[in-house]
Amino acid sequence: MSVRYWLLLNCLLCFLLCTAVNFFYFPAGLSFGDENRYLASALDLVRQKTFAVGNDRAWEMPGAAAFFALPLAIAGPENGIRLIRILQSILLVMQVLLLASIACHVFKDRRAVVITATLTAVYPFFVYYQGLLLSETLFNTLLIAAIAALYWWREHGARIDGRLLLVSLLLALAGWVKPTLLFLPPVLLFGCAWLWRRDLRHAIRVGAVASVIFVAVFAPWWIRNGLLFDAFVPFTTTSSANLYLGNNAHNSNFGVNWITDVDQAVVARINALPEIARQAAYKHEAVEWIVGHPTAFLRGMVVKLFRYWNVIPNAVEFRSSGMMLISLLSFGPVLVLAMVCVAFGRRHVELAPIYALIGYYTVVHCIVIASLRYRLPLEPFLIVMASYPLAQIVAKFQARFGSSSAATS
């Protein structure tokens, strides 16, 4: 059967699996507090034409709320939730195709393409998150689309053209959903241009163009925040809060619980401040602790590293035997095969953007807070990497089976 047939089959499988999970597993309403926050923000956009999270105006990026707002405006809150889930299942189908494209560009191996598509279509965490009103599925889709476009750009010479515009635009739009990329996109494009063309002047021009596009895409957000706060707020007003959560005297286990892992008196005092002052206060508390406890900070980074790459859930509420088994049998093999790809593969230049993302996200979350949820953007790319050694194993089995059949006949 052709690769195109397998891709269509996997797209159908993915959509049917998501539909079954959405209708038979998830309730008609919402399951988590974060979902209620996104729903409230989206409804504010529909009804009041303004973006807010409670009383805060830049608590998080508005991309996910804007994405949810349209189906809510069309179908209302109750039916809008169902429509959002359908849209997110379509986004996951798009991820199947986009990741298959990345595998094709990197490995030039039809088996790796099919394996990537199949693993993505049935990967339990992707199927689970697409049923939640959270930012993960939208962000992952934009990030994957940006990396797919990046490889398409490379195939056509990594020139300054419309493909570079598309890559830069997709990376910036991903930043409108989640701020974790920060100012990485222009740096990533500069690095890729230099690595793939070995022309420093060209790489500088690429980085400059990417920077201009990045500024142009984010300018409306910066202008809006400047008018609201009379200050430059490049992304959100919560980054320093997470920095404090991961780095304070009461968080000896370096967890992510706002009840047990912080000084409640400090949190109450800071939360009573205005939004911008709150950001500065949390940053001051965190930096003061880091500077005063460098050894503990470094130990915390090691603990967070293991938390971030744990093959089973960290949170107690997700440590049922079923959840641990699902994580162990899905993420576990993907992680091992991806490591095999790094150790024994010869595609390091091609995989450089993925390596950069993995390293960047790992360092950021070792400094701030580490959770399996924050690792989710990397797992699609780990699947791409895992597909190649698995494709080699399949090829060897097919060759052995074929030769055995020929000898028997």
What token pair was written down for 361? Answer: 């996200």
Tell me how many helices (H) and strands (E) the chain has: 17, 0
**H-type helices in 49-109, by residue range?**
63-107
* Exposure b/e, 226-239, CB count within 10 A at least 16 = b: eeebeeebebbbbb
Between CA 51 and CA 56 the distance in angstroms is 9
Q: How many CA atoms lie within 13 Å of 256's alpha carbon, on the beta-carbon side?
A: 19
**Cα 369 from chain centre:** 15
pLDDT band at residue 135 using 50, 70 and 90 as cut-offs? very high
> Can you say how many angstroms the Cα of residue 133 is from the centroid of all Cα atoms in its chain?
15
pLDDT in tens, 267-313: 999 999 999 999 999 999 999 999 999 999 999 999 999 999 999 98
Q: What is the pLDDT of residues 306-330, one digit of tens each?
A: 999 999 988 877 788 888 999 999 9
Confirm if 171 and 190 have CB atoms less than 8 A apart.
no
Q: What are phi and psi of 108, to 5 degrees?
A: 55, 40
Could you write out the three-class secondary structure of 190-202? HHHHHHHHCCHHH
Predicted pLDDT at 403: 52
